[in-house]
């Protein structure tokens, strides 16, 4: 099925460990982004990308790295996990153009990460 696929769905890390959250979409969307959701905080933008080779920081980028080598994939890397990164992470994509007409974000199903 077309859409945004996130893996894994659940992950437990120890403090200091590294890992990569995967996000892939098959809709040829140029724009991809990562959000984290914390209780009572809504969703906050971590990083985003407007196309392969182009990334930029969002509201809460510290502790996370991203890269965009292909249109389809936008992985999120935690280099040294901290308990403060315990959260639910959502990846979202959309077409870059057509902002004046119909466009919409497609969200993945989320990754629930616990750092102990």
Partner 1 sequence: AQKVTQAQTEISVVEKEDVTLDCVYETRDTTYYLFWYKQPPSGELVFLIRRNSFDEQNEISGRYSWNFQKSTSSFNFTITASQVVDSAVYFCALSENSNSGYALNFGKGTSLLVTP
Residue ranges that bind partner 1, judged by CB under 8 A:
31, 33, 35, 40-45, 48, 50, 56, 58, 88, 90, 92, 96, 99-100, 102, 104-105, 107, 109-110, 112
Kindly state the tokens that stand for 92: 């979202």
Q: How far is the CB of 101 from partner 1 (least distance, A)?
A: 9
Q: What are phi and psi of 85, to 5 degrees?
A: -95, 5
Shortest separation between residue 107's beta carbon and partner 1, angstroms = 4
Is the CB of 35 or the CB of 85 nearer to partner 1? Answer: 35
Q: Name, in order, each residue with C-beta under 8 angstroms of 72's C-beta and a sequence gap of 6 or more.
A: 24, 25, 26
Residues with Cβ within 8 Å of 98's Cβ and at least 6 positions away in sequence, in order, are none
Measured CA to CA, the distance from residue 58 to residue 18 in angstroms comes to: 21
13 vs 35, beta carbon nearer partner 1: 35
CB of 80 to partner 1, least distance (A): 25
């Amino acid at each position: 099925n077309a859409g945004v696929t996130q893996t894994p769905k659940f992950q437990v890390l120890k403090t200091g460990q590294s890992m990569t959250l995967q996000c892939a979409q098959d809709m040829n969307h140029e724009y991809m982004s990562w959000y984290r959701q914390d209780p009572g905080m809504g969703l906050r933008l971590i990083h985003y990308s407007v196309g392969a080779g182009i990334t930029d920081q969002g509201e809460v980028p510290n502790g996370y790295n991203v890269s965009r080598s292909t249109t389809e994939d936008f992985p999120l890397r935690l280099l040294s996990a901290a308990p403060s990164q315990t959260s639910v992470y959502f990846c979202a994509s959309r077409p870059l153009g057509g902002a004046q007409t119909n466009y919409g974000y497609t969200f993945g199903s989320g990754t629930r990460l616990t750092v102990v």
